[in-house]
Amino acid sequence: MTAAAVPLLAAALYVAATWRCRVPWPLARTATWLAGLAAVAAGWVLAGAHSDLRQHMAGHLLLGMLGPLLLVLAAPVTLALRALPVGAARRLARALRTRPARWLTDPLVAVPLNAAGLWLLYGTGLHTALVHRPALGALVSVHVLVSGYLATAAVLAVDPAPHRRGVGVRAGALAAGMAAHDVLAKWLYAAPPAGLTSVEEGARLVYDGGTVVSLLTAAVLWRRWYVSRAAVRPERGQPTGQATSRCTVAGSTSRPVR
SS3 assignment, position 52: strand
pLDDT of residue 122: 77
Label residue 131 by pLDDT band (50, 70, 90).
Answer: low
* Domain assignment present for 143: yes
* Domain assignment present for 55: yes
| pLDDT tens readout for residues 202-253 | 888 888 999 999 999 999 999 999 988 877 765 554 544 444 333 333 333 3
* Domain assignment present for 102: yes
Split into its structural domains, the chain has a count of: 1
Q: Give the angle 98-100-104 at the CA atoms, nearest 5°.
A: 120
Say if residue 127 is exposed, middle or buried (CB neighbours under 10 Å; 0-12, 13-18, 19+): buried
* Domain assignment present for 148: yes
Average pLDDT score over residue span 136-154: 90
pTM of the model as a whole: 0.85
| Lowest mean pLDDT across 7-11, 76-80, 191-195 | 191-195
Label residue 125 by pLDDT band (50, 70, 90).
Answer: low
* Domain assignment present for 256: no
* Domain assignment present for 258: no
Q: Are 169 and 105 in contact (CB under 8 A)?
A: no
Q: Are 114 and 147 in contact (CB under 8 A)?
A: yes
pLDDT of residue 246: 34
Range of the domain at 38: 5-251
Q: Are 74 and 14 in contact (CB under 8 A)?
A: yes
* Domain assignment present for 257: no
Average pLDDT score over residue span 59-68: 94
H or E element that contains 26 = none
What is the 8-class DSSP label of residue 197? B
Residue 96, pLDDT above cutoff 80: yes
Q: Give 253's contacts (C-beta < 8 A, 6+ positions apart).
A: none
